[in-house]
Amino acid sequence: MSTTTQENRPLLTGPEPTNDPESARSHDSQRSDHPKGDETSEDGNRGLTASFHHIDDSHQQTTNCETLIHLIKGNIGTGILAMPDGLKNSGLYTGTVLLPIIAVICIHCMHMLVNCAHELKERLGVAGMDYAEVGYHAFSTGPAPLRPFANTARRVLNAFLTLTQLGFCCVYVVFIAANVKQVVDCQFPGNDIDIHGYMAILILPLLGISMIRSLKVLAPFSLLSNVFLGLGLAITFHYLLMDIPSSYDRAEFKSWKQLPLFLGTSIYAFEGIGVVLPLERKMINPHDFRGLNGVLNTGMILVTCGYIAVGFFGYLKYGDAVHGSITLNLPPSDKSQGYNTTCHLRSIPVFC
């Protein structure tokens, strides 16, 4: 058979017809050794099985909008409420300049992670990889002196991811329980339930939501979270933009001793690198995730603008009197209304 004929053959073909009786009998014997309906090679079966899994999983893939919603939800947490306190440790203009620089570094690292995952998938011919697998394959296919440390790299990455997510979840549980307790105590002054009781009550629904593995199913929860987050920030900005003092009343730079505290708050706020690969892998159009105007850049620019706005106006408004959470600085006369409403609105996004 000529080369042209071979190149024009379809990807999936049956055996070529033959006039040799012995070959025909041998082929029939090979077919009888397989279960009914299994007429492809072992490699072919694996390929078809992978294709069927892909088809079955296609309805769980997310659109660009759903991925953007998840990306914003995965990056904006309790850290945004602490940004004014962060600028208190850096100075008004110093923090405002450093925040975009930190954001660019974080976004660049996210792009590096996604690009490395794609490069390793093409190099090894494997399916989607998670964070730890990217580290493992980067070491195992990298320079020879580093290859023995491939398994160590995977274990270290998994350990740090586990500790990071565990720390975030602990903060979130305490944050939600504290806000719910404040609202309940305000409405029912005689209430004597300890904060640990609220944690125990909240842990069950939190575990239930955490068991949902489908990003498609979680998309409405993330959307609801972002809506309430926006409402809570709108109420907060209502107070921040009233009677704004002059920026000359705020320190431009605090001290080198306090600057690490600002860096710690900022790095904690940009917490979402662990969600980048799962989001990109579950997209209907993964190539839309990267790029200059891709989902990743669009979402992170919105997140960064939110951090800068809350940090700048929060510190500008309250100066060194700003608390660890900006909502604690609401005017006392309005606390019974605005404060309780904001407690509700800021707890729901963290819960979702």
Per-residue model confidence as pLDDT tens digits over 297-338? 999 999 999 999 999 999 999 988 888 888 777 765 544 455
Q: What was the pLDDT predicted at 261? A: 92
Query: Residue 89: what pLDDT?
Result: 92
- Tell if the pTM clears 0.85, that is, is over it: no
Identify the CA nearest to 182 among candidates 351, 336, 350, 349: 336
How many whole angstroms separate alpha carbon 263 and alpha carbon 101? 11
Q: What are the two backbone dihedrals, phi and then psi, of residue 76, each rounded to the nearest 5 degrees?
A: -95, 110
- Summarised one tens digit per residue, pLDDT across range 227-270 is 888 888 888 888 888 888 888 888 889 889 999 999 999 988 88
Res 349: pLDDT:
54
Q: What pLDDT sits at residue 310? A: 93
Q: Tell me the pLDDT band of 275, cut-offs 50, 70 and 90.
A: confident
Per-residue pLDDT reduced to its tens digit, 49-78? 333 344 445 567 888 898 999 899 888 877
pLDDT of residue 52: 36
Look at residue 173 in the predicted model and tell me its pLDDT: 86
17 pLDDT above the threshold of 70: no
Contact 199, 174 (CB under 8 A): yes
Nearest-angstrom CA–CA distance, 129 and 153: 15
The average confidence (pLDDT) of the chain is 78
> What is the Cα–Cα distance from 277 to 130, expressed in whole angstroms?
6
Give the integer Cα–Cα distance in Å for 201 and 207: 11
Contacts of 248 (CB under 8 A, 6+ apart): none
pLDDT of residue 343: 57
Res 346: pLDDT? 57
User: How do residues 71-130 score in pLDDT, each as one tens digit?
Assistant: 998 888 778 888 999 999 999 999 999 999 999 999 999 999 999 999 898 888 887 788
Higher pLDDT, residue 79 or 36: 79
One-letter amino acid for residue 13 of the chain? T
Band of residue 148 on the pLDDT scale cut at 50, 70, 90: very high
Q: Residue 15: pLDDT band by 50, 70, 90 thresholds?
A: very low
CA dist., res. 242 & res. 244, Å (int): 6
Tokens of 191: 């209430």
Q: Are 219 and 70 in contact (CB under 8 A)?
A: yes
Neighbours of 352 (CB within 10 A): 19
> Per-residue pLDDT tens for 171-220?
888 888 887 887 787 777 777 788 888 888 888 888 888 888 888 888 88
Question: Can you say whether residue 351 is alpha, beta or left, with left for phi > 0 and alpha for psi between -120 and 50 degrees?
Answer: alpha
Q: Residue 97 has what pLDDT? A: 94
Cα 41 to Cα 220: distance, rounded to the nearest angstrom: 43
User: Residue 190's pLDDT is what?
Assistant: 75
The answer to whether 62 touches 70, Cβ cutoff 8 Å, is yes
Q: Is residue 29 predicted with pLDDT exceeding 60?
A: no
The CA distances from residue 229 to 72, 76, 222, 235, in Å, are 11, 9, 10, 10
End-to-end CA distance of the chain: 62
Q: Each residue of 283-302: pLDDT tens digit?
A: 888 888 988 889 999 999 99
pLDDT of 352 reads: 52
Q: Would the pLDDT of 37 be above 60?
A: no
